[in-house]
Amino acid sequence: MAYEAQIEACIDLLCSLPMPTLALIEGWAVGGGLAIATACDFRLATPGSQLGVPIAKTLGNCLSLANVARLCAAFGPQRVKRMLMLADMIGAEEALACGYLHQLAAPDEIDKAIATLVQRLTTLAPVTQQVSKQALSRLVQHSAPEAEDLIRHAYGSEDFREGVDAFVAKRKPVWKGR
């Protein structure tokens, strides 16, 4: 519980920044990395990037409800079901098509793409950006009810202990559903 609360507090700090935030994804954005990228307002990625939360096949834990709500708002619930329940990775093209990514750029063009977006953002009304960002954040937060019981269930399970043991031992976990 303390771990998830700490992670959520860090993500909340990123979300609460008043200015637009950008994430650059080059390669894999998995688990916590995806949560950080999702907390940002705009995301740019290189074409081969992969995004996901494969905890159903690795650790057997769960995300906070606020992180699930952010993922759903950014990807849509069906893709999030695939990421969380099927441990699917979402490719950059699909992430762009569903609106999760603002732009794809080749590795040698990504810095220029980010600079262009930053330049554009800095020419716009900062108060409008701040209140719009806060309004959207409140809508996402409003959709996330309390879920401490779900986190306790996942982290207190035999399966989570097995997932951690297997991860450390670099072997496939044997799930028991307990």
**Does the residue 172 lie in any domain?**
no
Rounded-to-integer distance, Cα 126 and Cα 113, Å:
21
**Does the residue 114 lie in any domain?**
no
Q: Which helix (H) or strand (E) holds 23?
A: strand 22-25
pLDDT at 90 over 80: yes
Mapped onto helix, strand or coil, the DSSP state of residue 10 is helix
* Residue 178 DSSP symbol: -
Instruction: Tell me how far the alpha carbon of residue 61 is from its chain's centroid.
Output: 15
**Does the residue 144 lie in any domain?**
yes
- Number of domains making up the chain: 1
Cross-strand pairs, 44: 24, 103
Task: For residue 53, give both structure tokens.
Answer: 């939360």
**Does the residue 112 lie in any domain?**
no
Range of the domain at 136: 2-107+119-167
**Does the residue 54 lie in any domain?**
yes
Domain CATH code at residue 150: 3.90.226.10
pLDDT at 164 over 70: yes
pLDDT tens digits along 104-155: 999 999 999 999 999 999 999 999 999 999 998 888 776 666 767 777 777 7
Kindly report the backbone phi and psi dihedral angles of residue 80, in degrees, each rounded to the nearest multiple of 5, phi listed first. Answer: -65, -35
- What integer pLDDT is reported at residue 147 of this predicted model? 65
- What integer pLDDT is reported at residue 144 of this predicted model? 62
The residue count of the chain comes to 178
Per the prediction, the chain carries an average pLDDT of 90
pTM of the model: 0.82
**Does the residue 173 lie in any domain?**
no
**Does the residue 177 lie in any domain?**
no
Does the CA dihedral 27-31-33-39 come out positive or negative?
A: positive
- What integer pLDDT is reported at residue 174 of this predicted model? 85
